[in-house]
Amino acid sequence: MRVAAIYDIHGNLPALEAVLQDIRQAGVNHVVVGGDVILGPMPRETLTCLLDLDIPVQFIQGNCDREVLARMRGTETGTVPEQFREVVRWVAQQLHPEHEQLLARWPKTLRVEIRGLGEVLFAMLHREATLRYLPVLRLKTASYQSLKDSTYLWSSAVIPTCSLTARSEGFEL
């Protein structure tokens, strides 16, 4: 199985369409969307494009997706800087009730069995989680039976590199 992991789309439909063209040309047969899908200029169109793909797609909920979901439910978490709150409100207004239900079902992490790699854990680490959990993962990964022999794929705005894959035996940042 060829899996493409795409992260941080942020409602940028033209960029997404270009990436999807490359994905099709590469013969990918499964897409993992790693969060932060809708907070951007074309939230509905971006979501529709992903949902209408002719190959299986699975989603992870990113921090921006959670913020929009909270706003759709009439609350604000207070974790978004003031200068971005109006954008969150606008995006929430662009979406429909069925989108709210969809966003609420997206997990925070996803495990996919990939031949040749085994079980791969997909996640998005946000600023607060990256700084808090990565040192723990680095020191403790080998001791967690559920993580042993897994491969990890994650994205973080804090670390200059967008993603990292590693086996638990060699997990080092």
Q: What is the CATH number of the domain that holds 51?
A: 3.60.21.10
The label of the residue with tokens 């946000």 reads 126
The pLDDT, as a whole number, for residue 126 is 61
Strand partners, 164: 154
Domain that holds residue 92: 3-105
Which one of 72, 105, 138 terminates a domain? 105
State the Cα–Cα distance between residues 5 and 35, nearest whole angstrom. Answer: 10
pLDDT tens for the chain, 173 residues long, are 889 989 889 999 999 999 999 999 999 999 999 889 999 999 999 999 999 999 999 999 988 999 999 999 999 888 888 899 999 999 999 999 999 999 999 998 888 888 877 788 888 766 554 444 444 444 333 433 444 444 445 454 444 333 434 443 433 32
How many structural domains is the chain composed of? 2
Triad 168, 161, 84: Cα angle to 5°: 120
Residue 145 and residue 81 share a domain: no
Residue 153 and residue 73 share a domain: no
SS (H, E, C) 70-106: HHHCCCCCCCCCHHHHHHHHHHHHHCCHHHHHHHHHC
Residue 113 covered by a domain: no
Residue 155 and residue 98 share a domain: no
Structure tokens at 104: 């609420």
Residue 162 and residue 83 share a domain: no
State the Cα–Cα distance between residues 72 and 52, nearest whole angstrom. Answer: 23
Residue 97 and residue 36 share a domain: yes
Residue 110 covered by a domain: no
CB within 8 Å of 61: residues ≥ 6 apart: 35, 69, 103, 106, 107, 108
The label of the residue with tokens 């199985």 reads 1
pTM over 0.75: yes
Residue 111 covered by a domain: no
State the Cα–Cα distance between residues 6 and 168, nearest whole angstrom. Answer: 22
Closest CA to 7 of 55, 64, 49, 54: 64
